[in-house]
Amino acid sequence: MTTLLLALAVAVPTAAAANGRSLYAENCLSCHGVAGQGVLSPSHARGVLGVRGLGPSLRGVGALSADFYLRTGYMPLIRPDVQPSRKRSPYSEAQIEALVSYVASLGGGPAIPTPHPERGSLSDGLSLFTASCAGCHQVVAEGGYVTDARVPPLEHDSPVRIAEAVRTGPYLMPRFSRTQISDRELNSIVAYVQGAKHPDDRGGWGLGHIGPVPEGLVTWFIAAVALVAICILIGGREKT
Amino acid sequence: MIRRLVRFVDERSASAPLVKKTLRYLFPDHWTFLLGEVALYCFVILVATGTYLTFFFEPSIAHATYAGSVEQLRGLDVSRAYKSAVDISFKVKAGLLIRQTHHWAADVFVAAIILHLLRIFFTGAFRKPRDLTYYIGLTMLVLALLEGYLGYSMIDDLLSGMGLAIGYSVLMSVPFVGANLAALVWGGPFPGKQASESRLYVAHVLIFPVAIGALIGLHLLLVAARHHTQFRGRRKTQRKVVGVPAFPGQTPRSLGLALAVAAVLFLLGGLVQVNPIWLWGPYHIASGTNGAQPDWYLGWLIGALRLVPGFDWTIGRYTLVPNAFWGGVLFPGIVFMFLFLWPWAERRATGDRAFHNLLDRPRDRPWRTAIGAAMFAWVFLIFIAGAADRVYVLFGISYQAQIWVFRVVVWVVPIAALLLTKRLCDELRAREELQSRRSQAEHEAALASEPAA
Amino acid sequence: MSGIGRWVAAGLVLLLGRLRRRPVLEPRERIVPPGTADRRAEWILVLLFVLAALSAAAFPVVYAVDAIPHQTQFLGLSLGLAFAFLAAASVLIGKRLIVTEELEEDYPPPEHPVEQEEIEQLVEESGDRFTRKRLIAISAGAAGAALGVAMITPAASLGPVFDVSPFFQTPWRRGRRLVDESGKPFRATDVFEETFYTAFPEGADREQLGAPLVVVRLSPGQLDLPDGRGGWAPGGILAYSKICTHAGCAVALYRKPLFPPTEPRPALVCPCHYSTFDPARGGKVLFGPAGRPLPQLPLAIDADGNLRAAGNFSGAIGPAWWGVRNRGAHS
């Protein structure tokens, strides 16, 4: 069924765009405005749960942004003033395709990138990631905190998603242009992030790769508990 | 055979009387007395594994290019210290096992010291004649914290460099003389002269271990000279010490514990990854990572540094108290001041200057127990606050909200703990008294009814 | 034949004689009280020792055979289990195979008044011949103190003790170009909004606190810089010291809103204690423990369109200390 719809969407782009338009009207319009012009001050249009619409223009953001936001589940966003979070998209594959091509048709913009992590270098990736990404995402991409927002870990993100995020700068994330991070460098970053999903754990159980906090938990809840138990086994207990 | 050996040794060392006495030295038979031993065995393992590591570690921040088996580091500009530490992990066979065991041993060492300290504090074991022993123990705790920090800092991986920058800033924050102190340690502004790494290194592998080792000797000497304390019990009085002789009773127990500590540490060292520096990458002054944390035993300080609201206390153009001072110097200063001054304060408050071989049950000293619990709650909550960012990532509870909540609860909860503990102790004692009175009355009633029968 | 017989008889007599000569001892008094044997425990003990031996013997094997995967784990298991079995054996001995006595003895007396007095007497009598005790004590004290100071003096070489001017120094000066990680100069036209850059002073050591900058661009209309910083941000390009004024970490986080109406304003954040600085308002602290704004570096665009420093920072860089507000940064 999905493949059939996919085939249809590819074969009949106008139909997909038309489908996309109606999906857009139902689900996106209250915040992103008519034909993606954006709603820059709280509108009277009320969306889901009666929330007033507010959202950026989608003209010129291209398929890249739409693909990223829809596939991460960031959009649809119920309340425009909260941080979008990862969730399963409520849309089917075909619906996402339709919405993406509709948004792309609103005013051009970048296409969905095709990164080539196999062409990247892991060590360049580590350097670049440390310089531009680790401050928020943590050096092994386990996620973190930036004032007022939560930074997602990248454990589930595909190469395309990473590349899209770098070029879009979703929510509070900076947007990195090609002059700053070239496509070649992006390949290395993507390769590094993919590698960081399965880091080199030659030391044993990896403890989530976030350093001393879980190590402290192991110290107390495994080592100290075991040793106290041994002490109790060896030593006497006071009879009172 | 045994006879010949004993004779051989005695003839040469005249030690038979001493050995005989030592073999029959009495050890306490209560499990809480073994916590200090756990710390001791951790120290032995730290020295053993640490010595091994010194054969391979290169304390230098000179530049090198990594060319080992970790693909993501290949070709990177790193310091020789970092490179040699990664090489210990992957080039030196069994090196990773020893390195990780060393790290776990440090983590467990401090944990054991703290458990030991809690027992000593809450049972009043620090009173005369063991106050000096207690001060030496506390000094070793301070040294152990610094020693662990130095070890973490000299590897020059990303986390270690960030930790060192914070340590530098904390030292700088000491009023009036901070910059002079920092200049003495680093030879100038951070990251200092080339020699600063050697300074960290020699402090870590020589000065601190020797100091801790010497203090351990003194600590044990004083313990042996005055014998162990004991809870009041059958035969156990202020004047009679009861226990298990070193030989044969205690020997297999202590040996078993030492071996068990080694077992736990080597199993952790082999099975649970700790401080994977090859994942953190090298440190450069311009780089940082989210969620940077010190080892757990300094977590209370990062908590304090994060909780303090943002202000420097200035007088004209001078900064009397830079912000990092509150959390980095004053807070640990207060905690250790409390611990060091407590025996004296308690003596002042109670007027008790007597000689104590018997331990208190915590409930029998409600004020000490309550104040100790409050202090513990204070430090513990600030410690937890240090992990608020990870809590946010894992559970989605807003970081800022947590910080504000912690800023309140670190004051409220200790007061509540104080009152609750005091109440609990009082009630426990009241109940006991009631019970003993009842049983006494029953006893008397039984006695009274007997002749009548 | 008889000769041999005689020898044997003589030997037997001698042997018996020796045996008889050995004094017949009373069964000696035991020190350790007797206990019963526990054969099962002994067998378990043997088993534990065998297991320990096997585990330990695995160590050199794992060490030598590189083909074994997860070498560290197996090495740790081997050593750890060997210790664990030995620990179990030891505890078993302690619990089952020796007699655990519970003995008592007197605590050492609280004090030894006689010896105390003797020591005191010893010291006092030894000093009998001194007549100018106070003077001698004072002069000896002076000698000791002076020697102590003399011996500590070399430690001053560890650092500049009194000279704090290095703490105000930075490699930046008017005209110095900003370069990126690879040494390439920053062209003003290549610096975009919504992102951040790390810049270094051209031709200077990068591994010093005063070197790294974080560079961002905001639309000039957004800027609200402190007085006297007009022209510090050509085209809205701002440069700040990358070293946090709280605890010296690198300010490695830049948050920028994608859609300002619903999202927080742009900010530079330090990952150590989350001090948060406002680049639009001269590095003012928005959140976190920092007590001082991030020092700003004035910028200029040269004839080639490259970014250059137009002076030194707005204040001393790095963590706060006693004199940090006393003087500005200098090169």
What is the per-residue pLDDT across A118-170, written as a single tens digit (0 to 9) for each?
A: 999 999 999 999 999 999 999 999 999 999 999 999 999 999 999 999 999 99
pLDDT for C131 equals 93
Chain C's closest residue to A151, CA to CA, is C255
Chain C's closest residue to B236, CA to CA, is C104
Chain C's closest residue to A84, CA to CA, is C263
pLDDT for A41 equals 82
Judged by CB atoms closer than 8 Å, whether chains meet at A204 and C197 is answered as no
Q: A103: distance to nearest CA of chain C, Å?
A: 17
Judged by CB atoms closer than 8 Å, whether chains meet at C289 and B323 is answered as yes
Of A55, A145, A176, the CB nearest to C274: A145
Chain A residues with CB-CB distance to B400 below 8 A? 147-148
Instruction: Tell me the pLDDT tens digit for each residue of C134-151.
Output: 999 999 999 999 999 999
Chain B touched by C169 (CB under 8 Å): yes
Residues 72-131 of A with CB under 8 A from B: 122-123, 125-127, 130-131
Of C158, C169, C291, the CB nearest to B323: C291
Judged by CB atoms closer than 8 Å, whether chains meet at A204 and C73 is answered as yes
Chain C's closest residue to A173, CA to CA, is C255
pLDDT for A108 equals 83
pLDDT for B156 equals 96
Mean pLDDT score, C87-94: 96
Q: Which residue has the tokens 């912690």?
A: B406
Chain C residues with CB-CB distance to A202 below 8 A? 70, 72
Instruction: Tell me the pLDDT tens digit for each residue of A161-203.
Output: 999 999 999 999 999 999 999 999 999 999 999 999 999 999 9
Q: Compute and round to an integer the Cα radius of gyration of chain A.
A: 23
- Does residue A20 have a pLDDT over 80? yes
Strands (E), chain C: 103-106, 178-179, 196-201, 213-217, 237-241, 253-255, 267-269, 276-278, 284-287, 296-297, 299-301, 307-309
Q: Which residue has the tokens 């410690």?
A: B383
- Does residue A16 have a pLDDT over 70? no
Chain C touched by A222 (CB under 8 Å): no
DSSP assignment, residue A221?
A: I
- Does residue A44 have a pLDDT over 90? no
- Any chains having at least 3 CB pairs less than 8 A from chain A are B, C
If pLDDT is split at 50, 70 and 90, which confidence band does C8 have?
confident
Listed residue (B240, B289, B260) closest to B390, CA to CA: B289
pLDDT for B193 equals 81
Judged by CB atoms closer than 8 Å, whether chains meet at A239 and B233 is answered as yes
Token reading at C128: 């009998």
- Any chains having at least 3 CB pairs less than 8 A from chain C are A, B
pLDDT for A13 equals 45
pLDDT for C13 equals 63
Q: C301: distance to nearest CA of chain B, Å?
A: 24
Q: A43: distance to nearest CA of chain C, Å?
A: 12
Chain A residues with CB-CB distance to C261 below 8 A? 40-41, 54
Chain B touched by C101 (CB under 8 Å): yes
Residue ranges of chain B with pLDDT lower than 70? 451-453
| Interface with B, mutate which of C106, C209, C272 (most B CBs under 10 A) | C272
Output the pTM of the full model: 0.93
Token reading at A102: 């509709």
CA C31 and chain centroid, separation: 49
Chain C's closest residue to B101, CA to CA, is C76
Of B241, B263, B302, the CB nearest to C84: B263
Residue C57 half-sphere exposure toward CB, CA atoms < 13 A: 6
- Does residue C187 have a pLDDT over 80? yes
Listed residue (C206, C96, C205, A204) closest to B252, CA to CA: C96
Listed residue (B99, B109, B409) closest to B274, CA to CA: B99
Chain A's closest residue to C72, CA to CA, is A203
Contact B85, B277 (CB under 8 A): yes
Q: A230: distance to nearest CA of chain B, Å?
A: 7
Could you give the 3-state DSSP secondary structure of residue A184? Answer: helix
CA A20 and chain centroid, separation: 23
Contacts of A49 (CB under 8 A, 6+ apart): A78, A79
Contact A72, A161 (CB under 8 A): yes
- Does residue A10 have a pLDDT over 70? no
Q: Say what the ipTM of the complex is.
A: 0.94
Chain C touched by A218 (CB under 8 Å): no
Contacts of B37 (CB under 8 A, 6+ apart): B254, B257, B258
Judged by CB atoms closer than 8 Å, whether chains meet at C195 and A144 is answered as no
Chain C touched by A234 (CB under 8 Å): yes
pLDDT for C12 equals 67
- Does residue C23 have a pLDDT over 80? no
pLDDT for A11 equals 39
- Does residue A6 have a pLDDT over 50? no
